[in-house]
Amino acid sequence: MNSAMEIIEMLNSDDYLLQKEAIENAPKFKEPEIVDRLIDLFIKTNNKMIEEHITEALKQIGGSYTVEKLLRLLDHEEARVRVFAFEVLSKIGNDNIHAIIKEAENPDKNVRKFVVDILGALKNKEAVDTLLKRLSDDDVNVVQGAIEALGNIGDVEALKKVIEFLPSAHLWVQWTIIESIKKVNNRELISEVLNLPWEIEDIIFDSIFDMVKENGTLENVEDAVNLYLKLSTQLRIKVLDTIYSIYIKSDKQKLEKVLSNTSFFDEIKTILIYGSDTQKFEIFNYMGSIEDKDFVRFIKSRVFDETVILSAIKLYYASNTLEKRELVRVFKYFNKSKLVEYMREIFKGDDNILKLSGLKIMRYNGIKEAADVLPEMIKEDELLPEVLKTVIELNLKELFDRIYEEYFNVKSDDLRLLMLECMVELRPDDARVVALIKDELANEYLSDVHILKLLQLVRKISDKEPFRLQLEYLADHPNIEISIEAQDLLGG
């Protein structure tokens, strides 16, 4: 195709293939007439394929003229045409950014919304001042779009001005401001937000408390106080969770130093001593969910004195079964003497879920002193895997004989294998362990997975000679993994 006129003639054709060929070649020519004809064809056609080809062609053509033409379509009566103009402008708008900026003053709020969204997609810093002006727009959707655009552009100084609107803004706008700041990920901006003159009732709950003031009665006072206690407790937990999240991914010692002079943990401690049972439960429950040992140690040193421990114990005994299962996790903050005492009591009880939590705490805190209660728990299939895990992690060799005795009473192949693994960890070269593994390997009904696990146990035993005949037999096993493992244990 040698001329724009030829392109235009083909675009005027009713032949789809000719139109498609012309559209594909249109980007070679930048004439306004071609842009006009492509836009006209888009508006008139009902062919989705043609629409897609025109959209891509105009993105390639671009140019100031194309931008001005498409801006006039942002208030078109058909939604598909408006979306088409928006999509192309979001790609080529920088070719005539000032024309787009000018449209931010359009009297049509829907056009203004399109324009701020386009400016956000273009990420052009020339649009910052215009977007800041839109923060006072009469339409909340335009305000939201302007804030999102400023977040996309990432201008820190502009976002500082946005933050000034945060305490008094509409809830939707508040959320948008926070999301835009998150995109920029700037420490200074986060600090600006945290240091605003926050009054939580004025932000979200002002209307609720106004209602109580105007229409409330004596019977509403307790509910109002409880709402405050709920909000203040949730806020403290959010702050604690924020500190924890930063702690596990930062320099822990530096953060501990920063936190050493704050009164925040004293406030937490006061609630855990003097607060309502509901407040205590919520905070204890959150603390129990924390897994990082360093942070547990830090919280323990700042919060868990004897008075707080006593408060936790009192709450535990006053709670129902489900609450006990949550609260028991906080026992890991107790000192060792208290832990031993309460681990023994839990292990002697009837609640297996509590016992499982107790075993985890026992491992977490290295409490070997309660090991004398474990033999009875070895007899319970439901608890056995966690008991064995505890025995291995705490290296409780004194329980070897009890595990060996119970081995012959267990019916499940999987549980017996776990017991064998435990015995191998405790005393790998004990003659009884060797004999048990030999007996297991002689079982012709074992699954391939089970055989492989037994061979892995053999690897941990110093003297492989007792297994030679079985290993030679398994070296020819049809399962290639078993064969390779057996040959390797034989020394190649």
Residues 293, 314 within the same domain: yes
Return the H-helix or E-strand segment holding 29.
none
| CA separation for the pair 119, 134 (Å, rounded) | 12
Instruction: Enter the DSSP assignment of 205.
Output: I
Is residue 262 scored above 90 in pLDDT? no
Model confidence at 225, pLDDT cuts 50, 70, 90, reads confident
Q: Which of 304, 363, 307, 367 is nearest to 330 (CA)?
A: 304
Q: What is the pLDDT of residue 97?
A: 96
Q: What is the pLDDT of residue 168?
A: 78
Check residues 83 and 187 and name the one with the higher pLDDT: 83
Range of the domain at 407: 335-417
Which of the listed residues 303, 330, 357 is the one where a domain comes to its end?
Answer: 330
pLDDT of residue 148 exceeding 70, the answer is yes
- Is 202 a residue whose pLDDT tops 60? no
Buried b (16+ CB within 10 A) or exposed e, 362-389: bbbbebeebbebbbebbeeeebbbbbbb
pLDDT of residue 274: 92
Number of structural domains found in the chain = 3
pLDDT band at 205 (very low <50, low <70, confident <90, very high): low
pLDDT in tens, 468-485: 999 999 999 999 999 999
228 occurs within a structural domain: yes
Give the span between the Cα atoms of 50 and 24, in whole angstroms: 10
Has residue 44 been placed in a domain?
no
Confidence of residue 118 (pLDDT cuts 50, 70, 90): very high
CA–chain centroid gap for 345, Å, is 36
Please indicate, yes or no, if residue 235 is contained in any of the structural domains. Answer: yes
CA distances in angstroms from 309 to 229, 315, 331, 332, 342, listed in the order given = 22, 10, 8, 11, 12
Is there a domain that residue 360 lies in? Answer: yes
Q: What is the pLDDT of residues 12-58, one digit of tens each?
A: 888 888 888 999 999 998 889 999 999 999 999 988 999 999 999 99
pTM for the model? 0.67
- On whether both 413 and 457 belong to a single domain, the answer is no
The whole-chain average pLDDT of the chain stands at: 91
Query: Is 315 in the same domain as 340?
Result: no
Give pLDDT, residue 406.
94
Same domain? For 322 and 204 the reply is yes
CA distances 348 to 328, 341, 373, 393, Å, are 15, 11, 8, 21
pLDDT, position 297: 94
Q: Tell me whether residue 227 is in a domain.
A: yes
Instruction: Report yes or no on 217 lying in a domain.
Output: yes
Q: Is the same domain home to 257 and 323? A: yes
pLDDT digits (tens, 9 = 90+) for 422-446: 999 999 999 999 999 999 998 888 8
Same-domain status, 227 and 294: yes
- Asked if residue 354 and residue 271 are part of one domain, the reply reads no
Return the structure tokens found at 151.
């977040």
Same domain assignment for residues 373 and 388: yes
The tens digit of pLDDT for each residue in 297-344 reads 999 999 999 999 999 999 999 999 999 999 999 999 998 888 888 899
Residue 28 per-residue DSSP state: G
pLDDT computed for residue 198 by the predictor: 65
Q: Do residues 446 and 440 make contact, with C-beta atoms less than 8 angstroms apart?
A: yes
Residue 444 CB partners (closer than 8 Å, separation 6+): none
- The pLDDT of residue 257: 92
Residues 399 and 303 in one domain: no
Binned at pLDDT 50, 70 and 90, residue 206 comes out as: low
- Residue finishing a domain among 278, 298, 330: 330
Contact by Cβ (8 Å): 307, 333: no
CA distance 455 to 437: 9
User: Does 1 score more than 60 pLDDT?
Assistant: no
Residue 158 lies in a domain: no
Q: What is the residue-wise DSSP string for 329-366?
A: GGGGGS-HHHHHHHHHHHHTSS-HHHHHHHHHHHHHTT
Q: Which of 322, 328, 205, 333 is nearest to 268 (CA)?
A: 333
Q: Are residues 382 and 441 in the same domain?
A: no
pLDDT at 201 over 60: no
Length of the chain: 492
Is residue 299 located within the same domain as residue 405? Answer: no
Task: Give buried/exposed letters for 276-296 (b at 16+ CB in 10 A, else e).
Answer: eeebbbbbbebbbebeeeebb
Using CB atoms within 10 A of its CB, is residue 230 exposed (0-12), middle (13-18) or buried (19+)?
Answer: middle
CA-closest candidate to residue 141, choices 168, 121, 163, 111: 111
Is residue 5 domain-resident? Answer: no
Helices 32-44 and 4-11: crossing angle in degrees, nearest 10, is 10
**For a pLDDT cut of 90, what percent of the chain falls above it?**
70
Contact 158, 124 (CB under 8 A): no
The answer on 438 and 378 residing in a single domain is no
Residue range 377-435, pLDDT digits in tens:
999 999 999 999 999 999 999 999 999 999 999 988 899 999 999 999 999 999 999 99
**What's the pLDDT score for residue 210?**
72
Instruction: Return the HEC string of 435-478.
Output: HHHHHHHCCCCCCHHHHHHHHHHHHCCCCCHHHHHHHHHHCCCC
Domain-ending residue, one of 300, 330, 360: 330
In the predicted model, is pLDDT for residue 194 greater than 80? no
| Contact (CB, 8 A) for 53 and 22 | no
Segment 260-283 shows an average pLDDT of: 92
